[in-house]
Amino acid sequence: HTAPPRSRELVSYPKLKLKIMIRDKLVRDGIHLSKPPYSRKVPMAGILEYLMNWPKSSQNR
């Protein structure tokens, strides 16, 4: 018994080509990963404080 033919074979790309393809797709879609909502500029102290209080703050909701 033979396996059914695959409609789409897996293709492997070099890492650089993948990065370029992803970058181009983001540009086409108008997505800027360095801007909100994908990236928030939070002071390091704020992140540390958030992480220190994390279990407590998530239980309060």
Number of domain units in the chain: 1
pLDDT tens digits, 6-36: 667 888 889 999 999 999 999 999 988 888 7
- Asked whether residue 27 is assigned to any structural domain, the reply reads yes
Separation CA 6–CA 59 (nearest Å)? 48
Residue span of the structural domain in which 51 resides = 15-59
Residue 35 lies in a domain: yes
| CA separation for the pair 36, 42 (Å, rounded) | 11
Helix (H) or strand (E) holding 49: helix 44-52
pTM of the predicted model, to two decimals? 0.43
Predicted pLDDT at 21: 93
**Cβ within 8 Å of residue 21, ≥6 positions away:** 13
Q: Is residue 25 part of a domain?
A: yes
Mapped onto helix, strand or coil, the DSSP state of residue 11 is coil
| Domain-embedded: residue 26 | yes
